[in-house]
Each structure stands twice: as structure tokens, then as C-alpha cells.
Amino acid sequence: MKTALFLMLLISVGTISCNYADSKVNPKDDIQLLYQRFHGKYKILSSTSSEPLDVNFDGVLSNDLLKEIVELNNYGAFLELRVKSLDHSVFLFSQFWPEQYMSIYTGSRKWDGWDTLSYNPTHLVSYANQAGLYRFSFSDDLSQVLVATDEKADKIRWVKPESVFIEAKDRLRLINKRRIYTRAGVKEVTIITIYERFTMIT
């Protein structure tokens, strides 16, 4: 009798334990947790290029793009993660970046990033904070934001990052490759930018 009672007790505990284990939600799949932790807009804390550049044409080379591109210092240059969208299964990523524009030809044609140009002091460079919209997911261990490739996206402007690492609470580290017009002409560089969330309002 005692043995049967003991066996029944063991089976009950095992069943309860299995049900509890099965009911646990992987943090990667917990939408509310992901929303609280990641949803919102992120401002730039630092942005560093893989080689020194003179983007502001002052004759001084620097890896610090916050000094070289003043437009990175305003709130128009931000990153946005939408963890909840109209379709809750789709997460949306956009990195607003000051894209360079300038008139280099007669008429209205403007440089669009494709042509390799030499520096010309008569070219007047302007900036527009623009972003491409991409879907994303999280890595299983929540160490990375995985931005999906979009075959229709522009290959030069509004490009998706090579990698997005989750550095700490509210901070992300992005690695991008970009073409930038500088005093040495057009350079293709790798840029590491650190972002920090400043609002959950999107």
C-alpha cells in the first residue's frame, strides 16, 4: 500500500513538473517581454568609421563621424525597432541615416551614391535623414537583432546593417558598410554605431 502510494506521488510530481516546464515561454518568443525591452526609438551615442575621413571638408581627418557629419547629432538620425506591428508576427527595423546628396551634373541629375567621384570643391553636399524598412527577428540567446535581407532594397542607400548586437539594456551596436563622399573622393567604409533607447513611443 505504501509503495503504491509512493509511486502515485512520484508520478503526480513528475507530471506537474513536466507541465510546468512545458508552460515556460522562451524569452525570444515572449512578445510582451520583447516589447518592454526593445520597442522604441534609439539615439546615437557614438559612430566610428574604419578609417579616418574628412566628410565636412575642413582638412582634418577623423574616425569620429559625430564630428564629421553634424546631422548625426540631431534626433532625425535615429534607429527604430517596432516589436509590435499591425501584424504581431512581424517586427520592423528602420535606421534613419543622413544620406548625402549633391548636384554634380548639368540639369537636375543628382549624385545617388553609385558613381565613384573625385573631390570637387564646387560640389555642394546636402543631407536627408532617410531609412529603409526591414523585417527582423531575435537570435535565440537575445544577443543579436537579425535584420532580414530585402532583395528589392537599394544596394547603396538605406542599406541594412551587416550586424546588430545587443550590448546591454537599451543599447545596440550596429555595423554598417556605407559609401561616403569625402575630401578624398568617395570612400566605402565600415561604420560602428552605438545606439541607446530614449523613448518607447513610435
14, part of any domain: no
Burial of 202 (0-12, 13-18, 19+ CB in 10 A): middle
The length of the chain is: 202
pLDDT of res. 74: 83
Q: How far is CA 28 from CA 81, 174, 189, in A?
A: 15, 20, 32
pLDDT of res. 155: 84
pLDDT of res. 29: 78
Q: How confident is the chain (202 residues) per 10-residue block, as mean pLDDT?
A: 49 46 64 93 97 97 97 92 80 95 66 78 90 95 96 89 95 97 95 97 92
Q: Considering its fold, how many domains does the chain have in total?
A: 1
According to DSSP, residue 144 is labeled B
75, part of any domain: yes
CA atoms of 42 and 45, how far apart (whole Å): 9
- pTM equals 0.83
3, part of any domain: no
State the residue range of the domain holding 167: 26-199
pLDDT of res. 67: 97
